Amino acid sequence: MGIADYKIALAPAKLITVGLGSCIGTIIYNEQAGIGGLSHIMLPDSHPFAKKQALNTAKFADLALPEMVDKLKQKAPRARFKAKIVGGANMFGFNALSKTGNIGQRNIEAVEEMLKELGIPLIASHVGGNSGRTMIVDLKNFETMVRIVHHDAVYI
């Protein structure tokens, strides 16, 4: 799955996204229904871009997550969902006090806040640092492998 995109699938599929630097990969899932949705969010907030036509909703935490959850609920209306997040690295060495701030940290905060608003518990995360990541979610067992540049893979 690419940047600024999301996909919904059923077990036994695997959902994969690569290139998670400051971006956030968010898996929202329900084991009993065997369903999950994975998003690759680039930016925390769509409001600065609201005047642009043809806005890619999958790019922004405030738009992508509610949209993906709506689609998950269409397929599993009674399901109670959980979430895991990966990414949010400080890839460019920006100081948190700079005008733009640390986009990775801002993405983490925006995704966590949106999950809270949607009533979806965040049960695991692998965020921050300064290394890129790949996220692989096996919908058979909802095991999430995180491959980290120059480090061993971890499971969350």
Q: Residue 68's domain is classified under what CATH number?
A: 3.30.1330.200
Alpha-carbon distance of 122 to 99, in angstroms, equals 29
Rank 36-40, 42-46, 54-58, 101-105 by mean pLDDT and report only the highest: 36-40
The residue-averaged pLDDT of 71-97 equals 87
Tell whether the model's pLDDT for residue 13 goes beyond 70. Answer: yes
Q: Which domain holds residue 60?
A: 5-155
* Domains of the chain: total: 1
Geometric angle at alpha carbon 119, from 22 and 117, rounded to 5°: 60
pTM beyond 0.85, yes or no:
yes
pLDDT in tens, 102-145: 899 999 999 999 999 999 999 999 999 999 999 999 999 999 99
Alpha-carbon distance of 75 to 130, in angstroms, equals 36
* pLDDT for 73: 97
Strand partners for 54: none
3 state SS of 101? coil
**Closest among 15, 34, 26 to 136, alpha carbons compared:** 15
The residue-averaged pLDDT of 96-100 equals 53
